């Protein structure tokens, strides 16, 4: 339930690439929202809600069953996002400047 | 009307859950439903007030929207009105854009979107009291200057909280806002505005974080949700009892007193068997309905419901629904009609249709009288495990049976569906708020009033009609059996009994099922009338519960309980399904599958119980 992560982190330092991989309690900075297919309404809505480059985002907690959905803080607002929705949000790597 | 031409047309727009409807109620003196979650208002509501100058203001309350790029049916309404493309609607003269002062990072973006529309805009910064409590300071003058539109502070939950807004609206129309750069990056602009005009010590309220640590905990969160739901159904039974006894005794006394004064004849029979036996048997359930609503209203106001949706999303998704279905389905415990309307806030059309189809399976408050009558008559009043009331447990089980079958039906719908593309959740979790006692009181008063109007209106009318059908034609000379056997109702009941004998329904129940189509509670009233007429003269004093307890086998009672979990006996629900899905096919599917399930489940229950008890 906790610490679930698709990436095998045996070989490299743990660096979440997508919001869905962020660990609970951690904060990162959004790089972009990717469209899945053309004219992706979910991606568009995510951008409207504030998931845009340079915006800090925090994974507050995960849902009780299968770690889904995710509770995400963006700006002053908390949203419940499914893992597949959060996977559209790519994060900046730790060293990069926004 | 001449005032309609000169009336100022204003629309309230803004993000979901920023207090538009609270403001609307404050300005117009209406009592539209307010609660603490996104998507309470799903249709346009119109109101009117007279400004201090004497000018008439037509105020439109619109569903909340995150963006004018609408993603759900309720957002589309707002978009169409704002753009002036709504059918039969002229574009408003002024838009009052409402924003939650504690949530400006999100809400200011929509303000910027509205500012571009080419209509005069006033920004109402709502919830200024909550912002002050959290130490948020906003430089109003600077914000006004930067935005180029008037900015007014409001507190929609306080009586005088909109005075400044009323005065501003009454003044000259503000000039058209600066159109600015069409390619302006709205998010970058919001960040610039916030940096220049707002100081905010923390991003979130500390109390929200503290409560959410428990309420959203993977284990304790679910335990809390389960306990909460169970407590509601326990209290519906145990708290209501003394009140119900009081009402019952009152009606009995009133009935006995007024009937005694009348001579023997049709009028006396109408009063005793029709009005008092019928209406009285429904009126008794007022306390239970109010207790149920007290909990639902308090949960809605607190901001807990979206949390429950968060906890249950995965389970509901597996069953073919969505966490977003949770609030419409919970409202359906009150009544499926507002529940089905509330599905407008579900973005995904497939999730929305599935939620509409299973909403009638949620046990609505109109079924409560039937359940409680049968439970009180057939389930012994016993304490289980030293703590719980057995009757309360059975009631809870009936609710659970409804929920489980809803999940099963949704699962089947999901299986039958060909389109398997992704479903969206994207649900906002609001700040917690103490339910306002005045709002709860008003909400309860309205529910009581609606119930009493139903009792005095459709239920009374149907009861009188049923009394007529059950009393005429009068039995022929020298007839031996009870008079009702020879009446219209008696004949209809006997004809239907052929169909319903396999599920154990006697002809009295068959009669009661028909008026139950218009309003489920009438089934109880109808049984009251039918039994009152079939018995000897003094049965007016006897209550319906003990009477059927003595006459029905247990198998029949359980079969009828199970029937009511599924039965599509509500014409209004079917009508609202037709309206919301715009399809007769969906109505037939819903009615057909519900009837089939009801018949099958009752058949199984009846046959098994009979085998076990004989």
Highest mean pLDDT pick, A7-16, B346-355, B418-427: B346-355
pLDDT at A14: 64
E-state strands within chain A: 27-33, 56-62, 70-74, 77-81, 89-91
- Are B106 and A84 in contact (CB < 8 Å)? no
> Mind listing the pLDDT tens digit for each residue in A25-60?
999 999 999 998 888 888 999 999 999 999 999 999
B542 vs A17, B281, B381, B568, CA distance in Å? 73, 11, 20, 31
pLDDT (0 to 100) of residue B66: 94
Residues A68-89: pLDDT tens digits? 899 999 988 999 999 999 999 9
Q: Note the pLDDT tens digit of each residue in B144-165.
A: 999 999 999 999 888 888 999 9
Query: pLDDT tens across B261-320, in order?
Result: 777 777 777 777 777 767 776 777 788 778 878 888 888 889 998 999 999 999 888 888
Angle at B531 between CA B525 and CA B537, to 5 degrees: 120
Share of chain A above pLDDT 90, in %: 59
- Residue B67: its chain A contacts at CB < 8 A? 45, 48
Rg of chain A over Cα atoms, rounded to whole angstroms, equals 13
A46 in any annotated domain: yes
Enter the tokens of residue B284.
């008794």
- Taking CB atoms and an 8 Å limit, are A64 and B71 in contact across chains? no
Q: How confident is the model at residue B522 (pLDDT cuts 50, 70, 90)?
A: confident
Q: Give the pLDDT score at B455.
A: 76
What is the structure's pLDDT at B76?
A: 92
Among A36, A66, A75, select the one facing B106 at the smallest CB separation.
A75
Supply the pLDDT for residue B341: 82
Which residues numbered 260-319 in B keep a CB inside 8 Å of some CB on A?
306, 309-311, 313-315, 317
- Residue A1 belongs to a domain: no
Give the nearest chain A residue to B17 (CA atoms): A77
Kindly report the nearest CA distance between residue B32 and chain A, in angstroms.
26
pLDDT at B605: 93
Query: Chain A partners of B206 at a C-beta cutoff of 8 Å?
Result: none
- DSSP state, residue B121: E
pLDDT digits (tens, 9 = 90+) for B416-442: 887 777 777 889 999 998 888 888 888
Q: What 8-state DSSP symbol labels residue B538? A: G
Average pLDDT on B458-467 reads: 77
pLDDT at B2 (0 to 100): 45
Q: Tens of pLDDT along B538-590?
A: 444 456 788 888 888 889 999 999 999 998 767 778 888 888 888 899 999 99
**What count of CB pairs under 8 Å joins A to B?**
108
Q: Using CA atoms, how far apart are residues B279 and B56, in angstroms rounded to an integer?
A: 44
Give the nearest partner residue to A65 out of B306, B314, B425, using CB atoms.
B314
- Domain assignment of residue A7, yes or no: no
pLDDT reported for residue B333: 82
CA distance B337 to B353: 14
- B309, A80: Cβ pair inside 8 Å? yes
* Domain-wise residue ranges, chain B: 2-199
Q: Which of B13-22, B232-241, B577-586 has the lowest mean pLDDT?
A: B232-241
Local structure of B335: helix, strand or coil: coil
ipTM metric: 0.84
Cβ within 8 Å, pair B422-A71: no
Mean of all residue pLDDT scores within chain B: 85
- Work out whether strand B121-126 and strand B151-153 pair parallel, antiparallel, or are unpaired: parallel
Predicted pLDDT at B569: 66
Q: Which of A59, A63, A81, A89 to probe by mutation at the B interface, max B CB count within 10 Å?
A: A63
Q: What is the pLDDT of residue B346?
A: 82
Minimum-distance CB partner of B425 among A66, A74, A80: A80
Q: Kindly state the average pLDDT of the residues B208-236.
A: 88
Which residues in chain B have Cβ-Cβ distances shorter than 8 Å to A59? none
A2 within some domain: no
Overall domain count for chain A? 1
Indicate yes or no: CB of A45 within 8 angstroms of CB of B200. no
Condensed to tens digits (0 to 9), the pLDDT of residues B478-499 reads: 666 666 777 887 888 888 888 8
Q: Is the pLDDT of residue B4 over 60?
A: no
Q: Is the pLDDT of residue B388 over 80?
A: no
Instruction: Determine phi and psi for B383, rounding to 5 degrees.
Output: -95, 130
Q: Is the pLDDT of residue A7 over 70?
A: no
- Looking at residue A86, which CATH number applies to its domain? 2.30.30.90
- The residues with which A70 forms a beta bridge, in sequence order, are A62, A81
The domain of A80 spans 19-91
Q: In this structure, is residue A59 part of a structural domain? A: yes
Q: Is residue A13 part of a domain?
A: no
pLDDT in tens, B46-64: 999 999 999 999 999 999 9
Q: Which of these CATH numbers, 3.40.47.10, 1.10.10.10, 3.40.50.510, 3.40.50.300, describes B2-199?
A: 3.40.50.300
User: B-chain residues within 8 Å CB-CB of A36?
Assistant: 422
Residues whose CB is less than 8 angstroms from the CB of residue B16 and which lie 6 or more positions away in sequence, other chains included: B38, B39, B63, B64, B65, B66, B345, B428
- A95 or B434, greater pLDDT: B434
Structure tokens given for B73:
């049916």
């Amino acid at each position: 339930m906790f610490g679930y992560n698709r990436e095998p982190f045996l070989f490299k330092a743990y660096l979440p690439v997508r919001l869905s991989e962020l660990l609970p309690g951690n904060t990162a900075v959004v790089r972009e929202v990717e469209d899945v297919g053309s004219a992706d309404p979910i991606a568009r809505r995510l951008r409207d809600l504030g998931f845009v480059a340079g915006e800090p985002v925090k994974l507050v907690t995960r849902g009780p069953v299968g770690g889904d959905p995710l509770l995400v803080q963006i700006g002053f607002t908390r949203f419940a996002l499914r893992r597949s929705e959060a996977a559209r949000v790519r994060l900046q790597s730790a060293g990069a400047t926004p | 009307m001449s005032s309609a031409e000169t009336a100022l047309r204003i629309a309230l727009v803004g993000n979901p859950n920023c207090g538009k409807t609270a403001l609307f109620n404050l300005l117009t003196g209406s009592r539209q439903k307010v609660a603490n979650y996104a998507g309470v208002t799903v249709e346009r509501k119109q109101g009117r007030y007279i400004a201090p100058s004497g000018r008439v203001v037509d105020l439109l309350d619109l569903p909340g929207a995150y963006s004018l790029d609408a993603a759900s049916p309720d957002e589309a309404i707002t978009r169409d009105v704002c753009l002036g493309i709504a059918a039969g609607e002229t574009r408003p003269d002024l838009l009052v854009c409402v924003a939650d002062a504690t949530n400006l990072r999100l809400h200011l973006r929509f303000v910027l979107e509205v500012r571009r529309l080419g209509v005069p805009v006033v920004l109402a910064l709502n919830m200024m009291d909550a912002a002050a409590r959290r130490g948020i300071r906003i430089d109003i003058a600077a914000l006004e200057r930067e935005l180029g539109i008037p900015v007014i502070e409001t507190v929609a939950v306080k009586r005088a909280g909109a005075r400044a807004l009323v005065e501003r609206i009454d003044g000259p129309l503000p000039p058209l806002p600066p159109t600015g750069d069409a390619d302006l990056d709205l998010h970058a602009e919001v960040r610039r505005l916030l940096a220049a005009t707002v100081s905010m010590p923390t991003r979130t309220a500390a109390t929200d974080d503290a409560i959410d640590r428990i309420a959203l905990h993977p284990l304790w969160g679910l335990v809390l949700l389960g306990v909460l739901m169970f407590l509601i159904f326990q209290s519906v039974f145990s708290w209501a009892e003394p009140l119900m006894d009081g009402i019952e005794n009152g009606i009995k006394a009133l009935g006995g007193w007024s009937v005694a004064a009348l001579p023997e004849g049709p009028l006396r029979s109408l009063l005793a068997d029709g009005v008092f036996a019928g209406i009285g048997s429904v009126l008794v359930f007022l306390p239970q309905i109010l207790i149920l609503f007290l909990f639902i209203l308090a949960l809605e106001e607190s901001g807990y419901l979206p949390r429950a949706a968060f906890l249950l999303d995965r389970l509901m998704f597996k069953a073919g629904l969505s966490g977003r279905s949770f609030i419409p389905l919970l409202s359906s415990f009150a009544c499926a009609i507002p529940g089905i309307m509330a599905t407008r806030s579900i973005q995904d059309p497939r999730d929305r249709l599935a939620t509409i189809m299973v909403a009638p399976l949620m046990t609505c408050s109109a079924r409560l009288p039937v359940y409680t009558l049968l439970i009180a008559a057939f389930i012994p009043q016993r304490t289980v495990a030293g703590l719980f009331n057995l009757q309360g447990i059975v009631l809870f089980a009936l609710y659970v049976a409804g929920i489980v079958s809803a999940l099963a039906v949704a699962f089947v719908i999901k299986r039958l569906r060909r389109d398997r593309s992704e479903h969206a959740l994207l649900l906002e979790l609001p700040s917690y708020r103490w339910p306002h006692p005045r709002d709860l009181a008003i909400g309860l008063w309205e529910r009581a009033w609606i119930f009493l109007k139903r009792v005095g209106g459709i239920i009374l009318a149907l009861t009188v009609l049923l009394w007529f059908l059950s009393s005429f034609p009068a039995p022929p000379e020298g007839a031996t059996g009870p008079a009702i056997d020879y009446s219209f109702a008696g004949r209809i009941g006997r004809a239907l009994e052929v169909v319903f004998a396999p599920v154990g329904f006697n002809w009295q129940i068959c009669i009661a099922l028909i008026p139950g189509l218009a309003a489920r509670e009438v089934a109880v009233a109808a049984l009251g009338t039918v039994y009152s007429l079939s018995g000897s003269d003094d049965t007016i004093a006897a209550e319906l519960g003990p009477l059927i307890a003595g006459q029905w086998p247990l198998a029949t009672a359980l079969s009828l309980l199970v029937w009511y979990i599924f039965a599509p006996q509500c014409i209004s629900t079917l009508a609202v399904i037709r309206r919301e899905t715009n399809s007769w096919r969906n109505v037939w599917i819903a009615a057909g599958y519900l009837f089939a399930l009801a018949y099958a489940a009752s058949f199984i229950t009846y046959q098994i119980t009979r085998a076990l008890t004989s």
